[in-house]
């Protein structure tokens, strides 16, 4: 059963951008925290390597493998059979490609290529690191990947957007090492995302193949911290806060190790808010895991605020007496998130989601995002008045979450379970891969204060009975691994009604509706929403997608009702569409947030049939800005509407 009463959530944050606004309270002496043993789990172990929480910084030596790699497409899928991973094999005929990057964006002749692609890179063993344990981190490889290190297979991974980690050995003393990856971007009935039925297997966003995020080798001590689950519980009115952290430690040595752990919490400008005196414990050998719990009561806490400057803290940890000292630091924010009936609250104040959907897509680089592109997008989102983002249908680049943490913009992250039919939701292979990607997303991003919820799927066939078991399993997994955040799943609205087997399972109802674009009329929207609300009253309702396509510079003198298969794609129609949609949606008191689809135009695998013909092949043109980030008329309309919403909820501060 779902608890529909008031749910109080204090949670934590993680980021690399730790710059927070300075403040000058009457600073008290640091609180003294405690460390003790804990039975807390869970932990995800893949190939003997515990899945790590992203850290802001560590003392581990790192060898970046970003840069130029050898690349070869393998349309006949003969690379494994012919031993392309062998240490002595040459690279004659292979191309050169920058990593991170995708082959579809890098090579014009491979733009539509789906299949296997091989990457190879050699690097010299850093001096003094021979024989030390290391892990290879592949931050994003779409979609299925296998890895060889010096000719030995290190492992495989399924999932294109969460990192994969591999234990690698066999360092060549003073010599060259070779990393080879086989990456396959084909979406099938056994992958997540899965093959869809609505467009003949073509997908709703582009399957950019390759290593689209960074790759590196990290030299890790035998005893090290792999997990930090930081939770906060503030007194919103009183200014105090309790900070707890559940830590996972692994000892990869053969023998037990006597260790000491100490730490501190620092705030802006490096001020120490709490200290943790050294705590002794035994880390059992043989790769076993041990868990510890830290706890501190801060007398003065500055809250992470939406729309604010993203006030962040840092938990710094020192692990010693284990053969070698190591350090790790995790950033977090102190905030209280609540669901009160049909409304969402942040730090005791109403938080109406002035949201926006955003895909990762860019000219020249496709899926790969530069820091400059992400910073520019955040600036445009802030200009729009956005205080909440849904970053596509998959875990986004972690650096984008860092920027949202710093900007004070909340997020619901999603796994790429997309338009999955009932037969595949009943397939144990698909269910297992969806669950694993959900856990990996939570473990990577659990400490970001911007993340307030997890989306379990988008537009899967929730009208089929199989959807219930699929979503129930993911909901239970999310609550086990992260009980402090809400769950949701986006429902593809059927305008004349359809069974919905999942909205009573999740915490928040999210509806993707396209009245007036794909079906029906905008005037029919209000009655439909009221009928849907009567079925699932008592929960927040988010209109998670609605939108219309347009081509920048295309105009009509007079806006009129357009056939669903022959839209004008004019800027005037898109602007009028949003004004009328918002006029109806914002009149519903049970609506807790709105999320236009979509921030920017993006590539997709099928060509829409909403124009005669569609203005741009393989493009979704519903963006408020173009792929190049040029503003359309609807950008200014949404900016005006969100400005009014901000004023309406100004008493709530967000």
Q: Tens digits of per-residue pLDDT, 631-647?
A: 999 999 999 999 999 99
Model-level pTM greater than 0.85?
yes
- Backbone torsion region of residue 376, taken as left when φ is above 0, otherwise alpha when ψ lies between -120 and 50, otherwise beta: alpha
How confident is the model at residue 10, as a pLDDT? 35
3-state secondary structure 474-485: HHHHHHHHCCCC
Token look-up 């609605």 returns 546
How confident is the model at residue 380, as a pLDDT? 98
3-state helix, strand, coil in the chain (%, to 5): 20, 35, 50
Q: Is the pLDDT of residue 609 over 90?
A: yes
d(CA 74, CA 280): 53
Evaluate whether 185 touches 143 at the Cβ level (below 8 Å). yes
d(CA 119, CA 532): 49
d(CA 165, CA 54): 12
Q: Is the pLDDT of residue 281 over 70?
A: yes
Nearest to 147 by CA among 183, 122, 184: 183
Better-predicted residue by pLDDT, 186 or 127 = 186
d(CA 282, CA 95): 50
- Taking residues 358-372, report their average pLDDT: 97
- Beta partners for residue 459, in sequence order: none
636 sits in which H/E element:
helix 633-648
- The set of residues, in sequence order, having a beta carbon less than 8 Å from that of 515 and lying 6+ positions away, is 493, 495, 521, 522, 524, 525, 528, 546, 581
- Taking residues 402-425, report their average pLDDT: 97
d(CA 300, CA 24): 11
Q: Is the pLDDT of residue 588 over 50?
A: yes
Give the C-alpha distances (Å, rounded to integers) separating 419 from 196, 315, 424: 6, 40, 10
Lowest mean pLDDT among 62-76, 118-132, 364-378, 562-576: 118-132
Q: Is the pLDDT of residue 77 over 60?
A: yes
Nearest to 542 by CA among 589, 591, 577: 591
- Taking residues 135-157, report their average pLDDT: 96
Q: Is the pLDDT of residue 11 over 60?
A: no
d(CA 601, CA 197): 23
Residue 368 sits at φ, ψ, to 5 deg, of -65, 130
Evaluate whether 550 touches 632 at the Cβ level (below 8 Å). yes
Per-residue b or e along 278-294, where b marks 16 or more CB atoms closer than 10 Å to that residue's CB: ebeeebeeebebbbbbb
How confident is the model at residue 133, as a pLDDT? 83
Better-predicted residue by pLDDT, 97 or 27 = 97
- Beta partners for residue 46, in sequence order: 49
Token look-up 């405690």 returns 34
Q: Locate 48 and state its tokens.
A: 């003997």
How confident is the model at residue 35, as a pLDDT? 98
Q: Is the pLDDT of residue 15 over 80?
A: no
- Taking residues 352-369, report their average pLDDT: 97
- Beta partners for residue 257, in sequence order: 283
Strand pairing category for 144-149 and 95-99: unpaired
d(CA 607, CA 621): 11
Q: Locate 607 and state its tokens.
A: 């060509």
Report helix, strand or coil for 284: coil
Better-predicted residue by pLDDT, 282 or 15 = 282
Q: What is the mean pLDDT of the chain?
A: 92
How confident is the model at residue 418, as a pLDDT? 97
- Taking residues 492-519, report their average pLDDT: 95
Cα distance between the two ends of the chain: 31
- The set of residues, in sequence order, having a beta carbon less than 8 Å from that of 560 and lying 6+ positions away, is none
- Beta partners for residue 313, in sequence order: 332
- Taking residues 326-345, report their average pLDDT: 97
How confident is the model at residue 8, as a pLDDT? 30
How confident is the model at residue 130, as a pLDDT? 66
Cα–Cα–Cα angle for 137, 139, 142, rounded to 5 degrees: 120
How confident is the model at residue 28, as a pLDDT? 62
Residue 493 sits at φ, ψ, to 5 deg, of -65, 130
Q: Locate 320 and state its tokens.
A: 């010693």
The percent of residues in the chain predicted with pLDDT above 90, rounded, is 85
> Please, which pLDDT band fits residue 5 given cuts at 50, 70 and 90?
very low
Nearest to 191 by CA among 213, 209, 179: 209
Cis status of the peptide bond prior to 42, with omega within 30 of 0: yes
How confident is the model at residue 123, as a pLDDT? 93
Helix H segments across 385-507?
398-407, 422-425, 428-445, 466-481
Query: Would you tell me how many other CB atoms lie within 10 Å of the CB of residue 499?
Result: 13
Q: Is the pLDDT of residue 504 over 60?
A: yes
- Taking residues 405-417, report their average pLDDT: 97
């Amino acid at each position: 059963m779902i608890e529909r009463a008031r749910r109080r959530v204090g949670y934590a944050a993680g980021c690399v951008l730790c710059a927070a606004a300075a403040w000058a309270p009457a600073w008290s002496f640091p609180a003294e925290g405690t460390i003790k043993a804990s039975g807390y789990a869970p932990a995800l172990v893949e190939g003997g390597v515990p899945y790590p929480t992203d850290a802001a910084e560590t003392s581990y030596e790192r060898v970046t493998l970003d840069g130029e790699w050898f690349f070869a497409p393998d349309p006949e899928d003969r690379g494994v059979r012919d031993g392309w991973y062998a240490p002595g094999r040459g690279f004659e005929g292979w191309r050169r490609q920058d990593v991170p990057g995708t082959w579809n964006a890098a090579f014009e002749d491979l733009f539509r290529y789906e299949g296997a692609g091989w990457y190879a890179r050699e690097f010299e063993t850093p001096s003094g690191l021979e024989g030390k344990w290391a892990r290879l981190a592949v931050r994003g490889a779409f979609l299925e990947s296998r890895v060889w290190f010096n000719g030995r297979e290190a492992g495989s991974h399924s999932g294109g957007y969460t990192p994969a980690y591999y234990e690698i050995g066999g360092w060549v003393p003073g010599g060259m090492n070779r990393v080879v990856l086989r990456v396959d971007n084909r979406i099938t009935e056994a992958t997540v995302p899965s093959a869809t039925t609505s467009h003949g297997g073509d997908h709703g966003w582009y399957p950019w193949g390759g290593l689209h995020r960074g790759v590196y080798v990290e030299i890790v001590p035998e005893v090290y911290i792999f997990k930090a689950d930081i939770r906060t519980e503030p007194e919103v009115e009183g200014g105090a806060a309790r900070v707890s952290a559940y830590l996972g430690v692994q000892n990869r040595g053969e023998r037990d190790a006597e260790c000491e752990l100490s730490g501190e919490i620092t705030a802006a400008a490096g001020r120490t808010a709490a200290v943790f005196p050294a705590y002794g414990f035994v880390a059992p050998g043989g790769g076993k895991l041990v868990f510890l719990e830290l706890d501190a009561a801060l007398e003065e806490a500055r809250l992470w605020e939406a729309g604010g400057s993203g006030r962040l803290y840092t938990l710094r940890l020192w692990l010693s007496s284990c053969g070698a000292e190591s350090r790790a630091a995790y950033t977090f924010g102190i905030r209280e998130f609540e669901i009160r009936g049909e409304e969402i609250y942040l730090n005791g104040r109403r938080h109406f989601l002035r949201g926006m959907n955003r895909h990762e897509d860019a000219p020249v680089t496709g899926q790969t995002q530069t820091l400059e592109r992400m910073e520019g997008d955040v600036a445009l989102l802030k200009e729009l008045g956005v205080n909440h983002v849904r970053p596509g249908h998959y875990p986004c680049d972690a650096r984008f979450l860092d920027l949202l943490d710093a900007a004070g913009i909340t997020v619901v992250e999603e796994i790429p379970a997309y338009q999955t039919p009932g037969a595949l939701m009943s397939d144990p292979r698909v269910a297992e891969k969806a669950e694993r990607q959900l856990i990996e997303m939570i473990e990577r991003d659990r400490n970001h204060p911007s993340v307030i919820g997890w989306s379990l799927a988008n537009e899967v066939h929730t009208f089929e009975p199989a959807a219930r078991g699929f979503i129930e399993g993911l909901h239970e997994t999310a609550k086990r691994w992260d009980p402090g955040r809400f769950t949701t799943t986006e429902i593809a609205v059927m305008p004349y009604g359809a069974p919905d087997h999942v909205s009573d399972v999740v915490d928040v109802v999210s509806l993707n509706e396209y009245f007036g674009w794909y079906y029906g009329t905008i005037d029919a929207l209000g009655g439909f929403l009221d009928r849907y609300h009567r079925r699932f009253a008592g929960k927040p309702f988010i209109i998670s997608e609605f939108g219309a396509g347009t081509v920048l510079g295309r105009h009509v003198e007079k806006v009129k009702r357009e056939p669903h298969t022959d839209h004008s794609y004019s800027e005037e129609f898109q602007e009028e569409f949003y004004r009328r949609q918002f006029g109806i949606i914002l009149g519903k008191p049970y609506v807790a947030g709105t999320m236009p689809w979509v921030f920017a135009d993006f590539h997709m695998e099928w060509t829409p049939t909403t124009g005669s013909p569609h203005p741009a092949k393989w493009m979704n043109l519903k963006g408020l800005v173009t792929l190049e980030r040029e503003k359309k008329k609807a950008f200014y309309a949404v900016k005006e509407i969100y400005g009014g919403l901000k004023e309406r909820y100004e008493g709530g501060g967000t």
